[in-house]
Amino acid sequence: MRLLFGIVLGAILTVGAAYYHDSTFAVPSATVPARPIVNWDVAGGLANDATRAIRNGIGGLFSR
């Protein structure tokens, strides 16, 4: 149980740190263009695809 909690906590901290960095430090300036760590549009699309696949898989388990 502690292992699962650690994995979830680590994922949340990683995504939170990347979001904080992108929203705070990756602002464009006159000399340096903005370079975010994460392309949030792509990350959101992948998360939606994964959620949809999990829901379809779980729904298939209960429809038998």
How many structural domains comprise the chain? 1
Give the whole-angstrom CA distance, residue 57 versus residue 63. 10
pTM: 0.48
Collapsed DSSP state (helix, strand, coil) of residue 43: helix
| Distance, CA of 18 to CA of 1 (rounded, Å) | 26
How high is the pLDDT of residue 7? 93
The residue among 59 and 57 whose pLDDT is bigger is: 57
- The answer to whether 37 and 26 are in contact (CB under 8 A) is yes
Domain span at residue 55 reads: 2-62
Q: How confident is the model at residue 9 (pLDDT cuts 50, 70, 90)?
A: very high
Going by pLDDT thresholds of 50, 70 and 90, the confidence category of residue 38 is confident
